[in-house]
Amino acid sequence: MELHEIPEVDQTTSSTVLIEVSANDDGMTGFIKLVKQGVNPEPVTQEQLIAALRENRITYGIKESSVEKLAARPIYNIKIEVAKGLPAVFGQDGSVTYYVKRDSEYRPEINLEGAVDYKNLDYFQLVKKDQVLAEIIRETEGTEGVNIYGGVIPTKNGRPAPSPVGKNTHLIQDDTVLVSDCDGVVRFLRDSIDVNDVLKIKGNVDHLTGNINFTGDINIDGDVTNGFSVKSGGNIIVKGVVEDAAIEAAGNVHISNGINGAGTNTIHVCGNLKCKYIEHAKIHVEGNVSADYIIDSSVTCMGNIELAGSRELIVGGEIRVLGELRAKDIGSASGRNTKIEVIGVKNVDSEGVRNLTKTRDELDAQMQQMIEDVQKLARSGTGSDDELMDQVALAKKKILDIRHKVDQVTYQIQQLEKEWTMEFPGCIICKRKIYQGVKINFGEEKFHFELDDIEHCKLFWADGTIIQGTL
């Protein structure tokens, strides 16, 4: 703050006015405060106020009207805003408006009796050629600001939107509208949209069709019978049942009825599995499982298992789940052996390992380059033998130093990889009863039943132990 003393003309009163100039810490707002010293001092002029601002380096955003009013009608001992900077405006990030739904936006329909309509095949979206799938809103540029001292305030431009372009799609209208190249079924891969051609089987998969292996989506109007296999690079829809057959899908699997297996063949689903029931089946699902009941089956689910329908039951077999398992009843009154395991996740300092690995790779590349340089130097024969030997010896010493650093970084990586903890993000929610005979594990940790069955409970992991809560 700088004070400017304006002497009074009348020397008998010795009255003066001090001009106090100040600014906010961010340099965006400037103020003047007039301090009267003595009686009836002569007011300051607009030019004196402007000069005081400039002496304090305030040159931008001066409010001429405010300065003029303060000079004409001085206000004392109060800070008056007389300068305002121009704030920077950040650019807006680009975005994508999708006109087709993601799988997670769908919910199965439930009728008045509480049963889920597993024959509702609208879960898979069919699109037509040239149909608009998404619209891209471009990012905008930012605008620099200026503080009251005339300094530039930097800005940031918006980030471009993630590209929604996938298989069988392309952009039109100056790359702002995404359309389909063909008729097919929509499948999301993160933020991009694939449109897959559909293979339609009018009847069963049996001796008439043989095994099916197709890169796109497959619609089967009948059953998949014993001993046959169906492999898809997209989604699979089966309107009948799946018997003891091998199913492999890169996307989702929707079975209108259910699975009647024999434990011989495996069903492997990279997306979600939806069916009415699962019996005597061997299943691995990377996404979520939705069914009414699961009986005597081996199911590994890396997402959630939700039983919804009239029974909502798990009896027998072995269930392994990474996410949430939600059922009405687990086990049976007869004490039937049923195993439930919540899968654990190792917590490792992935960022630290990644950074150290990058450092090691850079050192490896540097060392390899130096080895090549030494070989070139040895072949060149330039200079005396003594000079050449000295240069090679110095280079080899540097290589050994780098190799030592590589060993040190490798050791650090190994130590980080050893320092891990186990967490269990999933839980078990039972809306009615978990019976005796059900064995529940969170990894190696076993849940110990009391003497009675437990009802209306939630089992989850917290602070290194299994917690039994109530619903």
Q: Percentage of the chain with pLDDT > 90?
A: 61
Q: Which of 255, 263, 256 is nearest to 279 (CA)?
A: 263
Greater confidence, 470 or 54? Answer: 54
In this structure, what token pair is assigned to residue 312? 């909502």
* pLDDT at residue 5 tops 50: no
Least confident piece of the model among 134-148, 251-265, 442-456: 442-456
Q: Which of 18, 24, 25, 66 is nearest to 46 (CA)?
A: 66
The per-residue pLDDT for range 405-427, each reduced to its tens digit, is 999 999 888 888 777 778 899 99
* pLDDT at residue 12 tops 50: no
SS3 label, residue 188: strand
Neighbours of 105 (CB within 10 A): 8
Cα dihedral 268→269→273→279 (10° resolution)? 0
Greater confidence, 108 or 180? Answer: 180
The per-residue pLDDT for range 66-112, each reduced to its tens digit, is 999 999 999 999 999 999 999 999 999 999 999 998 765 655 555 65
Instruction: In whole angstroms, give the CA distance from residue 340 to residue 320.
Output: 6
Q: Where are the domains of the chain?
A: 2-84, 95-194, 349-419
> Which pLDDT does position 196 carry in this prediction?
82
Confidence label for 294 from pLDDT (cuts 50, 70 and 90): very high
In angstroms, the Cα distances linking 297 to 210, 316, 342, 435, 445 are 26, 7, 16, 18, 22
Whether residue 250 contacts residue 234, with contact meaning beta carbons closer than 8 Å, is answered with: yes
* pLDDT, mean of residues 293-313: 95
Averaged pLDDT of the chain: 88
Q: Where are the beta strands (DSSP E) in 253-364?
A: 253-255, 258-260, 266-269, 273-274, 277-279, 282-285, 289-291, 293-295, 298-301, 305-307, 313-315, 318-321, 324-330, 338-342, 345-347
What is the side-by-side strand order in the sheet with 212-214? 212-214, 229-232, 246-249, 266-269, 282-285, 298-301, 318-321, 338-342, 438-442, 445-446
Query: Chain-centre distance of CA 189, in angstroms?
Result: 13
> Which pLDDT does position 121 carry in this prediction?
41
> Which pLDDT does position 14 carry in this prediction?
55
Backbone angles phi, psi at 433, to 5 degrees: -150, 140
> Which pLDDT does position 471 carry in this prediction?
79
* pLDDT, mean of residues 260-282: 95
> Which pLDDT does position 110 carry in this prediction?
59
* pLDDT at residue 429 tops 80: yes
> Which pLDDT does position 11 carry in this prediction?
43
Neighbours of 328 (CB within 10 A): 19
Q: Percentage of the chain with pLDDT > 70?
A: 91
In this structure, what token pair is assigned to residue 158? 């918006």
> Which pLDDT does position 112 carry in this prediction?
59
Instruction: In whole angstroms, give the CA distance from residue 253 to residue 217.
Output: 10
> Which pLDDT does position 116 carry in this prediction?
57
* pLDDT, mean of residues 192-203: 87
The per-residue pLDDT for range 334-390, each reduced to its tens digit, is 888 999 999 998 777 778 888 999 999 999 998 888 888 888 777 766 556 677 777
Confidence label for 36 from pLDDT (cuts 50, 70 and 90): confident
The per-residue pLDDT for range 401-410, each reduced to its tens digit, is 889 999 999 9
